[in-house]
Structures are given as structure tokens and as C-alpha cells.
Chain A
């Protein structure tokens, strides 16, 4: 991600926090609702006069709205800096790119670390359970508030791709195209299992305090770090780990103890430690739960094709990576077959790479070229 360093500051960034009045609550799948919803978002590029060039970028589990601008906490370039910007696939010279933090998140949008207006204290576990459909509902409120009737595209990788699918299922008339990278239409048993390990790590941390840590002035950093370490392994392929680290040692010789002898251990510890600086443990619980609950077919009578029945006019583009074992190609193929069965206009590419799931965040020329082609041709068709 260091390649984009120089350009990060060049992209004009706007945005802020959209506050919805109490008479515009976010109604959740669980039946609960959130009053006074706040949605934090960034925008890149300019909205044209016809309001027809807006692209919503949906972020993944551990990301936020800082898709193409420097992260305020870490100072690092945006997580999709290589995809969003002038002359890039999501070309900010032509497109108006919006990225908002998901509901349940911890980067400015209402989530478990926000203040509950009913009590004046952080929600903690009093925060209602949210789903991917709830995240999309909150985004739809933001898009409407920004005065955009139809999005040119909804684009996302991993959990972001799931949101793009949910958009197509729930608001087919409000998007012209959808791009889903490295995602699935439902969480598998293995996906749920890994998330459960992460959640248990957080909840086993004595500083989690039953989710009430914010009020008690502590943070379950150890638990969240372990959750991140376990999850991070699922983002990489075996080959990528082997290529990066092999059995290389941190120092000459073994410590004959439990220090991080191997470079891969040190790397994971670093990933864990860095994550706790920018992420909230309860948000991690809520968002992983939302993903586990995600099953687009189940909410449409068990038929994924049925979910896309109303989305026949949406142009879809689905990407998968050969070495992604978190959301493998077979999952993307399910999506594509359902799209074909529904008669939707679908394209699908499986990209050869050994970088695993994280390939969607990395320099993948084939992905970028294909995405660029898809976006350009879409713009031509739409005029």
C-alpha cells in the first residue's frame, strides 16, 4: 500500500457526518431502531449537475470511510488509494466517489461506542444488533440526503461486496451497476467459525467487562488484537505467508521461550497491536455478527436468483481471486449463476494471484484494468 503514498494528499476530500433527525430513525431488521442516526462519510471528486456520476464504495469489516484519503489515526494512505483517484478505475476526474462508515462501526457512524441518547452513556451491548441490510439502509438514507436518486455504481470488496449485493436486492432502481470483489452471498460455517474465535478472544479479555469497558475507562486491547491476528491469517494465502516469511527468524537463533522467534509471529503481533489503535472491540463483535447473519438467499425464500429478480437491469461485475480461501471463487460463482438465472447482466472474472483474500486491497493490475473497463463502458452506455 506504500505505492499510493505520494498521491493520497492530492485527492480532494470532502464529507463529514450526516445527522438524521429523530423523526427519521434507522429501522433495523431486528425490529429495533436507531434514533438520531449519524453517518460519517468522505467524498472524492465532484458531483455533476445531473447528479448521475455518484459511486458508493462500501468498506470491508476492518475498514472505514477513509478509502482514498489519509487515515486520521494511522496517517496511512486510504485503503483503496490504488483504485480511487484521478485516472484510476474509480476516476475522480469523472466520478463522485462516496464512502461511508457502516452502522455499527467505530469511525464516526453510530455504533456501540456512540453515546446512547436515551442514557447519555456509550451504548456498549445495549446497541441493537445490525445486519448487512441495515448497513445498506443507512447508506441509502445518506445517498438520499445527498440528493442522489440513482447511483452510477455501488462498489465493494469482501463485506463491501456483500453490501453491493444487498443494494441490488433491496434498491435495484437506485443503482445502475454493482461491483462485488472477493465476496459471498452468505457466510459459510468456516467463516462463522473464524469470527467466533475472534469474538471469544475479545470476550475472554478481562478488560471487556461484559461490553461495558468504555464506561469503566478500560479497553480489551489484548482480546481485540488476538481477534485481528486470527482473522488476518484468513486474509492471506498459505503461499503468500510462506513467500513473505517462510521460517525466517527475528534474531539469530531461537529464544528457547515464547518470544516472537519467527518473523510471521512478529508480523501478526504487529497487525494485532496496530489494529487496536483504530478499532473498537464491540464494533468488531457487532460487525462480525452482521456478517455471520448474512445470507441473501435465505431472506428470499432460499433462492439467490430470487434476490436478484428485481435487479435485471443492473449491470453486475463480480471478481474473485484464485488463492482466496476466505471467500473462494466457488462463492462468487454461486452469485454469478444466480444472476444468470435471474436474467441479470453479469460479468465475472477470476483473477490469478497467490495473495489470498487481501488481493482486493493490493496492486492487482488485472483487477484494476478490468474494473476500469467495466466502469468506462458503463459510463458510455449510460451517457
Chain B
């Protein structure tokens, strides 16, 4: 089966990179999981215990047909109801600019999961800057394909904006890769000014800077303290 994100047998580049980052057998929440391509890929290739959150009923129905556990809801309203550390990874793929409260959502991702994997289009890419400078119009690019009046993106940011927010929230960037249409992911140092010009889109692996070592399971914990 091929969805809009899986054409000619090719998997979306950020999905490929996410699959690479995720530990086998881990618990993953995909926020904005669409029709479940990534979750299916993760469960097939990494044997993860995956859950999804998706806003459209059609998306959720498609996920159910794939045997995935997906809840209709949105990042702004529904993350609050998950218990802390319920997942090893929370994935937010190209969705952060679409939420009402990106800062809150990012913070929530790292409350309910040990690590967050976040990808987002970079509004600091040189072509976007040139478009704005030269034409004085909101850019329409491969990463941002819709005109301003119908884009779902309400909180666009640059890689630099995002790394600054991570600093403010005391989040550690464990890994970062630049993504470009049709090219393999390229590991980058996201705080370098040059990368903020070069990356069309970026993918971050985040954790809490002050996170203590992962607690062992309940039984072992009892042993430790008993």
C-alpha cells in the first residue's frame, strides 16, 4: 500500500531518519500520525509499541485498518492527559508550526516521553530569505507548499529560533539532521549560523537536559530501595 508519503516505494526522508534514531522495541507516540505510515514503518522495522494522535477521522480510520492504536485528537489539547514518561519517544513530524502553543506542546512531549523527535521546516533557509527580500512575498517552497492564506502553519520558525526555544526549556539537542527533498539526511550542528541558511528542514532528537537516568522497571526499583 502506498500513501501520499510513500511514493515509488520510497519512504519520506524524515521517516527514514526517525526509524534510524528509534531504539528497537521502544514505546513511541506519533503526534499527528496521519494515516499511520511512520508508525507502521516503526513497528515493522523496529518492533516498537506505537500509539498515535491524529486530528482527522479519515486518518484515524486508516490507522485502525492498519491495526494501529490511534486516538483522534490534537497536540494542543490531548497531550496533557498522558501520564509522565509513558513513552520512550514522542514524534512530532512537520507539525509543530501548526499547533496553537508550540512551546507548551514541546514541553509536553518531553514530559510524556524520555525523548522527542521533532522535525520542522526552516524558515531561515536562504531561498526563503531571498524570496522575502527580493519579492516581498510569503515564500511558497517544497517544504511550505501552500500560499499564506491556506497554510496550516501558524507558528513558523527558523532553526535558530527553535534551538533558542530548546535552550529556554532546558532541552538537550542530542542529534540534529538537515533534511532536503530527495537527499539523504545530513547530520548538522544546528547552532551554526550557516546551517540556518542551508537547511530546508531539520530534524531534532531532544531530551531533558536535567533528566535523571531512566528509572528501571517497578520490580527492579523495589529491589533497589527494598
Are B64 and A374 in contact, CB atoms less than 8 angstroms apart? yes
**Given A345-B51, A373-B66, A377-B66, A340 and B61 contact (CB-CB distance below 8 Å):** no
Main secondary structure of the interface of B (DSSP, over half): mixed
In angstroms, Cα B65 to Cα A59, docked, is 25
Stretch touching chain A among B1-9, B79-87, B101-109, B136-144: B79-87
Stretch touching chain A among B67-75, B113-121, B124-132, B169-177: B67-75
Is B57 engaged at the interface, CB distance under 8 Å to the other chain? yes
From A345, A369, A376, A378, B61 is in contact (CB under 8 Å) with A369
Name the B residues within 8 Å of A340 (CB-CB). 71, 78, 81-83, 86
Name the A residues within 8 Å of B51 (CB-CB). 345
Name the B residues within 8 Å of A345 (CB-CB). 51, 69
Is B166 engaged at the interface, CB distance under 8 Å to the other chain? no
Name the A residues within 8 Å of B71 (CB-CB). 336, 340, 346-348
**Given A348-B71, A350-B72, A343 and B61 contact (CB-CB distance below 8 Å):** no
Are B57 and A347 in contact, CB atoms less than 8 angstroms apart? no
Interface centre among B63, B64, B68, B70 (most CB of A within 10 A): B64
Are A349 and B72 in contact, CB atoms less than 8 angstroms apart? yes
- Which residue from chain A places its CB closest to the CB of B78 in the assembled complex? A337
Are A377 and B64 in contact, CB atoms less than 8 angstroms apart? yes
Are A370 and B72 in contact, CB atoms less than 8 angstroms apart? no
In angstroms, Cα B73 to Cα A337, docked, is 10
Are A381 and B72 in contact, CB atoms less than 8 angstroms apart? no
Name the B residues within 8 Å of A343 (CB-CB). 83, 86
Name the A residues within 8 Å of B63 (CB-CB). 347
Are B57 and A352 in contact, CB atoms less than 8 angstroms apart? yes
Restricting to A208-240, which residues have a CB under 8 Å from any CB of B?
none
**What class of interface size applies to chain B in its complex with A?**
20 to 34
Min C-beta distance of A297 to chain B, whole Å: 14
Are B61 and A373 in contact, CB atoms less than 8 angstroms apart? yes
Is A19 engaged at the interface, CB distance under 8 Å to the other chain? no
Name the A residues within 8 Å of B65 (CB-CB). 369-370, 372-373, 376-377
Are B81 and A370 in contact, CB atoms less than 8 angstroms apart? no
Are B82 and A341 in contact, CB atoms less than 8 angstroms apart? yes
Are A380 and B67 in contact, CB atoms less than 8 angstroms apart? yes
Are A337 and B64 in contact, CB atoms less than 8 angstroms apart? no
Main secondary structure of the interface of A (DSSP, over half): helix
In angstroms, Cα B61 to Cα A366, docked, is 8
Are A349 and B60 in contact, CB atoms less than 8 angstroms apart? yes
Are A373 and B64 in contact, CB atoms less than 8 angstroms apart? yes
In angstroms, Cα B66 to Cα A336, docked, is 20
- Which residue from chain B places its CB closest to the CB of A375 in the assembled complex? B64
Are B83 and A347 in contact, CB atoms less than 8 angstroms apart? no
- Which residue from chain B places its CB closest to the CB of A367 in the assembled complex? B61
Are A341 and B81 in contact, CB atoms less than 8 angstroms apart? yes
Is A148 engaged at the interface, CB distance under 8 Å to the other chain? no
In angstroms, Cα B72 to Cα A352, docked, is 12
Name the B residues within 8 Å of A347 (CB-CB). 60, 63-64, 68-71
- Which residue from chain A places its CB closest to the CB of B61 in the assembled complex? A370
Are A315 and B72 in contact, CB atoms less than 8 angstroms apart? no
Are A348 and B82 in contact, CB atoms less than 8 angstroms apart? no
Min C-beta distance of A13 to chain B, whole Å: 29
Name the A residues within 8 Å of B78 (CB-CB). 337, 340
Nearest 10 Cβ contacts at the A-B interface: A377-B67, A373-B65, A337-B81, A373-B64, A370-B61, A348-B71, A345-B69, A349-B60, A370-B64, A374-B64
Query: Could you list which residues of chain A lie within 8 angstroms of chain B, going by C-beta atoms?
Result: 315, 317, 333, 336-337, 340-341, 343, 345-352, 366, 369-370, 372-374, 376-378, 380-381
Instruction: Provide a sorted-by-A list of 27 A–B residue pairs whose CB atoms are within 8 angstroms.
Output: A315-B69, A333-B73, A337-B81, A340-B86, A343-B86, A345-B51, A347-B70, A347-B71, A348-B70, A348-B73, A349-B60, A349-B61, A349-B72, A350-B57, A350-B72, A352-B57, A370-B61, A370-B65, A372-B65, A373-B65, A374-B64, A376-B65, A377-B66, A377-B67, A377-B68, A378-B67, A381-B67
